[in-house]
Structure 1
Amino acid sequence: MQLTIKTQILFQLLSIYAATLGFLRKTKVRSQIDASALFLPPSDPGSIGDEAMLAASMEHLAAQGIQRIGIITLQPTARWENLKLVTDTINIKGFFTRGSWWERFRLVEKISRYEHFYCLGADVMDGFYSDNVTLLRLNLVALAAKTGADATILGFSFNHQPTDAAVQSFSQLPASVRLCCRDPISYQRIKQCLQRPVELVADLAFMLQPAEDSDLTVRVSKWVRAQKAQGRIVLGVNANALHLTKVTRLKRDEFIQFYANAFINLCSRNQKISLLMIPHDFRGDDSDVSIAQAILEAMPSAIKPYCMQVPTPCSAAEIKSICADLDLVLTGRMHLAIACLGQGIPVGGVTYQGKFEGLFRHFELPGMTIDPEKAFQPGVLTDFLIDLIAKREDIHQQIQSHLANVKVLSVSNFERKPKNALAG
């Protein structure tokens, strides 16, 4: 994607204005900036994974003395219900495409009022979903850095085929912008693309504190423990429509029935299996909630008494707490895998975008993922689960042996290293 001439000119003018604000900040002509941070999320509300990263980051910064926390949204009505530390919301809908020039310059001035600017990179920095989304975010990071804010792209992954526009935009970022890759594979990929320092971190959500005492958590955990008291193995399951785009031969009904058949086969091979469906994204008609409900409806009556779905709405912290009681989880959402790993719980991933492999590399855990094209073949997903169930105690021990170090890497998203300590 190429920016229009008009947009390029606009960005150049905004850059000059941002640099002027940066000069005034540096020379202390402007009033002193307070302890503050502004966040640019990966998307608007609806993703438990995005909420986990944001909540963990804000809690960490508040504990470090950050007094004012702002968040940027793409929709005027967007509200992050579970982010209690947000003091200011800035809407940027149509920043480069509509609105008056005054509004755009006003936005840059608002950004300049913050000490820190944090872009949550997640999986939207390589152009995979949209060059427009990636370039807008990188342009905002560049503008923030030029205003003198301490700008960082927090814990992001980078797939094996980044777009040319994304790579070019990364290469044009100001040298002061920190790049924090959240897994070893992404770290190597972006080092090959860019000639600039990159830091290896772990995902922000590893810092999230579980909500152990909420009514929802207590209710679900009570059911899980009752199942385990009967000698049953409780398997957490997240299925989502992302894989419908990867496995084009399956229609929605076929996709639902395939999951149901895999669990029916699993229960026939191990009659002590109980299922907890765990939605992790509430957006769209084919949300995780509707997918989970459809799978449970397709289960035979003999199995349904041993099935439950996590009620919604729920928070990321509640999901993380619930995961601690499970024996094993199968997920198509990476941040549910992180919630499990953060609690020492074995988890298998149905992959997408090449993200899971890098996550498990932190724990030196091979064989924990399955490609959707392979998973949705008769018997394969069931065999995958049977193998993980048999190995779950060894997997648990391996997770525990690496978890402390991974949590340190998660915190390092917010620790600016000396220039001579950075890898490039």
Structure 2
Amino acid sequence: MKKLAHRLYFGTRHLYVSFHSTVAMLRFVGFVDLMVLRIAELTVRNRRSSHLIIATAGRGNIGDQALLESAVQHAPHSKIHILVDQHDDLTLPQVTSPRTARFVAAPRLVARLPYLRLLGVWRAGREIGRACQIDVIGADIMDGSYSRRDSVIRLQLVRFATQRGRRVRILGFSWSECPDQYTLSLMRALQDNVSLLPRDPRSAERLRHLGVTTRPPTADIVFTLATGGSDARSRLRLPEDYIIFNASGLASREHRVGCEYHESLRRLLDADRNVVLLPHVLRRGDDDAEVARNLYDQFSSPRLVLVTDQLSPSGVEDVARGAVGGLASRMHLAIFLLRNGVAPLSLASHGKVEGLLEMFDISHRVLYPQDSFGAVAGAQLLDSMQQAADDRVVQARLPEVQRLARNNFGA
């Protein structure tokens, strides 16, 4: 009986979510949003007085925090407003006077029930009215592959902003091989009025193949991030010559790769290598920290260090700076390793990692979750000669990739 109730609950929930993400429902939501946005925008007095950044979700994702800090550092105006769901989703980046930055909460902007979204849509409309320029942090949520609803609602905000004459850029985003078709239609409609800035050559080529015009080549905006000083390595008492090991809670849930992580880690510890278990996303549902804790408990080796804190981007940078190799199941952890001249092994996810490593000519370091990668990953991480050769390639390519990343802010 309990199992039947469980199946009925999740079956009903799936139907509910699916209904509220249908094209017909999203078109209706877009129509209602447009009316609310217009009325809200008309109530604004200080028009075109701020720079608006529409942030990603945050909520324990260190990569989202790094993206936000990069966007704030390069905002061209002194008054910066950041649209978030809740004030505690992200940490407000520090800015120096006379620049100011503040969060504006637009609660439940992507909620499924329209009446729950009204306050969030209203506040978004007012912020668009105040903005002279808008930057949307694109990341991996623009093609509908994770959530059609999230992508469409963001693009509907962009469409309204362009109708009101605002300059809009969608910064550094990925585009998968199988995008949502309704999301694609909105992107095509916006291409003439918005700076579309895909963050790797594969994404750009996929968009061109689908008839979407993009701006000059770019890279992920985190390659432009200026990080402050951090003592994370000394505070965490990390050993010398360690390998970063990042196991993804999302990959573990979706692809059941726990055995592969176990095999890779076993090989490293059997070879007497120091390993740092470093979570990059710490939140319910796809928690890296939970997977890391399970691995730590299985081995209990003196050569194994478990990081339990949610580090700042500067802290992750400091830990990456001391690494001699790494398995990065999260894209932005791979970027922090690349920023420090270390060639990572990286787990493929929705087509975004392949393009990243292709920019550094190290495509052979992509791992695929559907494969049995545990033994292969362990062997590659232990191959110091190949690691040194790949590190040299990364270090040679890094200045060009950083130059491409700066194109996001010159568009």
TM over 0.5: yes
Aligned equivalents of 1:107 and 1:385: distance in 2?
A: 46
**2:396 maps to 1:413:** no
Give, in angstroms, the shift of residue 342 of structure 1. Answer: 0.7
Change in Cα spacing, 1:88 to 1:391, as seen in structure 2 (3 Å) is: same
Give, in angstroms, the shift of residue 362 of structure 1. Answer: 1.4
Change in Cα spacing, 1:145 to 1:275, as seen in structure 2 (3 Å) is: same
- Of the three residues 255, 260, 267, the one matched with 1:265 is 267
Q: Which residue of 1 aligns with 2:14?
A: none
Change in Cα spacing, 1:263 to 1:396, as seen in structure 2 (3 Å) is: same
Aligned equivalents of 2:120 and 2:184: distance in 1?
A: 29
Change in Cα spacing, 1:328 to 1:168, as seen in structure 2 (3 Å) is: same
Is the CA contact 2:232–2:318 (under 8 Å) kept in the aligned structure 1? no
**2:12 maps to 1:10:** no
Tell me, what secondary structure is at the counterpart of 1:162? coil
Give, in angstroms, the shift of residue 343 of structure 1. Answer: 1.0
**2:300 maps to 1:283:** no
Aligned residues: 382
Aligned equivalents of 1:205 and 1:159: distance in 2?
A: 20
Is the CA contact 2:174–2:198 (under 8 Å) kept in the aligned structure 1? yes
**Counterpart amino acid of residue 244 in structure 2:** G
Tell me, what secondary structure is at the counterpart of 2:138? strand
Q: Which residue of 2 aligns with 1:204?
A: 221
Give, in angstroms, the shift of residue 312 of structure 1. Answer: 0.7
Change in Cα spacing, 1:106 to 1:137, as seen in structure 2 (3 Å) is: closer
Unaligned runs of 5+ in 1: 229-233, 417-424
Q: Which residue of 2 aligns with 1:235?
A: 243
**2:78 maps to 1:67:** yes
**2:47 maps to 1:50:** no
**Counterpart amino acid of residue 396 in structure 1:** D
Aligned equivalents of 1:346 and 1:103: distance in 2?
A: 41
Q: Which residue of 2 aligns with 1:370?
A: 367
Give, in angstroms, the shift of residue 77 of structure 1. Answer: 5.0
- Of the three residues 302, 315, 320, the one matched with 2:317 is 320
**Counterpart amino acid of residue 385 in structure 2:** A
Aligned-pair Cα RMSD in Å? 2.7
Name whichever of 154-163 and 259-268 sits farther off. 259-268
**Counterpart amino acid of residue 82 in structure 2:** I
**Counterpart amino acid of residue 235 in structure 2:** R
Give, in angstroms, the shift of residue 101 of structure 1. Answer: 6.6
- Of the three residues 77, 81, 84, the one matched with 2:94 is 84
Change in Cα spacing, 1:137 to 1:400, as seen in structure 2 (3 Å) is: same
Give, in angstroms, the shift of residue 410 of structure 1. Answer: 1.1
Give, in angstroms, the shift of residue 298 of structure 1. Answer: 0.8
Tell me, what secondary structure is at the counterpart of 2:408? helix
Change in Cα spacing, 1:262 to 1:358, as seen in structure 2 (3 Å) is: same
Tell me, what secondary structure is at the counterpart of 2:48? coil
Q: Deviations over 1:272-326 (max 9, x none)?
A: x1001111011115511121111111115xxx21111234131012101210111
Is the CA contact 1:15–1:146 (under 8 Å) kept in the aligned structure 2? no
Name whichever of 107-116 and 162-171 sits farther off. 107-116
**Counterpart amino acid of residue 9 in structure 1:** F
Q: How does 1:362-401 map to 2 (within 5 A)?
A: 362-376=359-373, 379-387=375-383, 389-401=384-396
Aligned equivalents of 1:9 and 1:145: distance in 2?
A: 16
Tell me, what secondary structure is at the counterpart of 1:298? helix
Name whichever of 124-133 and 257-266 sits farther off. 257-266
**Counterpart amino acid of residue 102 in structure 2:** T
